[in-house]
Amino acid sequence: MDWQGQKLAEMLMQVLLVASAVAAFLAGYVRGDFQLMLLVYAGGVVLTALVTVPNWPFFNRNPLKWLDAAEAERHPRPQVSSAGAGAGGKKKSGKNK
């Protein structure tokens, strides 16, 4: 799931849950049946879970574009390499302890 997909999933989840809660309350109140309210709400929750929990294809329409590995090698960042050497030294000392 990409970033846009996660945003969409969260929005869908909240909208669907609130909508099913409102619908369940109205159905229960109009029919005067508390159990009906619970059943309608349970149905809404299951529907929401089916829509938003699995990693459906429509959550992956905006895939991240990573740079090629070759592109990074062509433009090395100097401070990264020096910091990497320092970190490497620390790691070695850590292992020896």
Partner 1 sequence: MHSWTQRLLTAATTAAVLLAAVCAAASALDAFHVPAVQAQAHVTKINRFHKQINGNDKVTLTFNVSANLESLFTWNTKQVFVFLTAEYENAKNSLNQISLWDHIIPDKEHANLQLEVKSRYPLIDQGSSLRGKKVHLVLHWYVMPNAGAMTQGRMALSEFKLPDAYTS
- The reply on whether position 27 binds partner 1 by CB under 8 A is no
Q: Which is nearer to partner 1, 25 or 77 (CB)?
A: 25
Burial label for 23, CB within 10 Å (0-12, 13-18, 19+), is: middle
3-state secondary structure of 6: helix
C-beta of 37: minimal distance to partner 1 in Å?
7
**Scanning residues 34 to 63, which ones bind partner 1 (CB under 8 A)?**
34, 37, 41, 45, 48-49, 52-55
Pairwise CA distance, residues 77 & 97, whole Å: 31
Q: Which is nearer to partner 1, 32 or 57 (CB)?
A: 32
